[in-house]
């Protein structure tokens, strides 16, 4: 089977065009660029260069592509333009740190399986913080007993550190363009709006990450108000960070709509929780509508950054070898 975007598929399409079609394509000329037709090459050589020797042509095509990319990278920026360096170790670590928050779901599932309360733990009615309670017993009219509370609290801390590292290591310039390779940041009205938004995203992400670190270090049954403060920092900071990030990324990736939806869902659940004081038939469900979208949204953002940074690093490695 020939795939249209494979080399063999393109060769088949080229042969089906016929002589007239191939001549028109070869004669096509971009403004200020030489024609695709090499006047110095013989017809036999030109025919050989088009799908004659598959291996050699493929290597020549890849070499030409890398050469064009090298030329684009060497083009100096216009006055006021800025081309972010996306292939740094800092960007790579930041993207993976943001993506690492997804580990929370694995830890939560393991802790729920080990639950030893008189009633099985139910995500619809059980609070997330109950899984991190240090002691077995009655807490706020709930009978809690979580033997793997250390794993749950460690997961909170690791999640928060991942968000903190992402906020510190992912630059505002990278966030402005969603780590799109080769995109220049142009000084102007759009830049003056995007840059403060990117800075705000980093600050809110840091606040959210710090909040869940506090939750992990101060379990609910210690009786400290810092547990609630940390949880609110995580929910509120995460919701607004995702909303701003999604809006900032609208021109750069379809994932932006998903990130906006995550932020909107968290914010809506927060409003409902505040109005009802969590006095609802399924408080566990409501709390998870506050927290799950934050974790999912940041992991999605981390995935976008990690994939694009890896693409840039691989391209740079190929250029260096060439």
Ordered DSSP codes for 288-306? HHHHHHHHHHHHHHHHHHH
Q: Residue 122: how many CB atoms within 10 A of its CB?
A: 12
Sequence-separated (6 or more) residues with CB below 8 Å from residue 123: 112, 284, 285, 288
Instruction: Return left, alpha or beta for 55; rule: phi > 0 is left, psi -120 to 50 is alpha, else beta.
Output: alpha
Residue with tokens 């609802």: 280
For residues 134 and 150, give the distance between their C-alpha atoms in angstroms, rounded to a whole number.
8
Paired strand residues for 137? 144
Residue at 201 is within a domain: yes
Summarised one tens digit per residue, pLDDT across range 104-154 is 999 999 999 999 989 999 999 999 999 999 999 998 889 999 999 999 999
Summarised one tens digit per residue, pLDDT across range 219-255 is 999 989 999 999 999 999 999 999 999 999 999 999 9
Residue at 99 is within a domain: yes
Q: What does the pLDDT read at residue 55?
A: 43
For residues 248 and 216, give the distance between their C-alpha atoms in angstroms, rounded to a whole number.
30
Q: Are strands 185-186 and 81-82 parallel, antiparallel or unpaired?
A: antiparallel
DSSP letter, residue 128: G
Tokens found for residue 187: 């000084």
CB 130 within 8 A of CB 146: yes
Q: Residue 124: how many CB atoms within 10 A of its CB?
A: 11
Q: What does the pLDDT read at residue 236?
A: 97
For residues 267 and 236, give the distance between their C-alpha atoms in angstroms, rounded to a whole number.
7
Q: What does the pLDDT read at residue 156?
A: 97
Sequence-separated (6 or more) residues with CB below 8 Å from residue 94: 165, 166, 168, 169, 170, 174, 305
Residue at 48 is within a domain: no
**59 has pLDDT over 70:** no
Residue at 78 is within a domain: no
Q: What does the pLDDT read at residue 193?
A: 77
Residue at 53 is within a domain: no
Burial of 229 (0-12, 13-18, 19+ CB in 10 A): middle
Domains: count for the chain:
1
Q: What is the largest CA-CA distance in the chain?
A: 89
Sequence-separated (6 or more) residues with CB below 8 Å from residue 291: 128, 234, 235, 266
Range of the domain at 101: 88-114+153-321
SS3 at position 49: helix
Q: What's the average model confidence in pLDDT over 150-160?
A: 97
For residues 205 and 91, give the distance between their C-alpha atoms in angstroms, rounded to a whole number.
16
Q: Residue 298: how many CB atoms within 10 A of its CB?
A: 29
Residue at 180 is within a domain: yes
Q: Read off the pTM.
A: 0.73
Residue at 239 is within a domain: yes
Q: What does the pLDDT read at residue 24?
A: 47
Which range, of 64-68, 168-172, 211-215, 276-280, averages the lowest pLDDT? 64-68
Residue at 293 is within a domain: yes
Summarised one tens digit per residue, pLDDT across range 21-53 is 444 444 444 444 444 444 444 444 344 433 344
Sequence-separated (6 or more) residues with CB below 8 Å from residue 266: 235, 238, 239, 242, 289, 290, 291, 293, 294, 297
């Amino acid at each position: 089977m020939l795939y249209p975007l494979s080399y063999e598929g393109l060769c088949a399409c080229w042969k089906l065009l016929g002589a007239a079609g191939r001549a028109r394509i070869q004669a096509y000329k971009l403004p200020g660029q030489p024609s695709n037709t090499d006047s110095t090459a013989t017809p036999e050589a030109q025919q050989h260069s088009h799908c004659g020797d598959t291996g050699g042509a493929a290597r020549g095509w890849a070499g030409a592509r890398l050469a064009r990319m090298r030329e684009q990278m060497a083009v100096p920026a216009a006055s006021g333009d800025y081309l972010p360096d996306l292939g740094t170790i800092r960007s790579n670590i930041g993207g993976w740190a943001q993506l690492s928050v997804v580990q929370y779901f694995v830890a939560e599932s393991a802790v729920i399986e080990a639950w030893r309360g008189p009633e099985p733990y139910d995500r619809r009615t059980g609070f997330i913080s109950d899984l991190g309670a240090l002691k077995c017993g009655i807490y706020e009219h709930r009978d809690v007993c979580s033997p793997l509370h250390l794993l749950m609290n460690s997961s909170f801390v690791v999640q928060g550190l991942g968000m903190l590292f992402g906020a510190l290591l992912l630059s505002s310039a990278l966030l402005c363009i969603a780590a799109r390779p080769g995109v220049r940041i142009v000084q102007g009205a759009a830049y003056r709006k995007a840059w403060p938004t990117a800075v705000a995203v980093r600050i809110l992400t840091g606040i959210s990450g710090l909040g869940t670190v506090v939750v992990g270090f101060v379990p609910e049954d210690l009786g400290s108000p810092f547990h609630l403060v940390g949880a609110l920092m995580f929910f509120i900071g995460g919701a607004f960070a995702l909303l701003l990030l999604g809006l900032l990324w609208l021109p750069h990736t379809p994932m932006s709509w998903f990130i906006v939806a995550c932020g909107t869902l968290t914010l809506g659940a927060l409003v409902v929780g505040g109005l009802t004081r969590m006095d609802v038939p399924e408080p566990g469900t409501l709390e998870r509508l506050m927290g799950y979208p934050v974790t999912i949204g940041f992991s999605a953002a981390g995935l976008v950054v990690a994939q694009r940074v890896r693409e840039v690093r691989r391209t740079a490695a190929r250029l260096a070898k060439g």
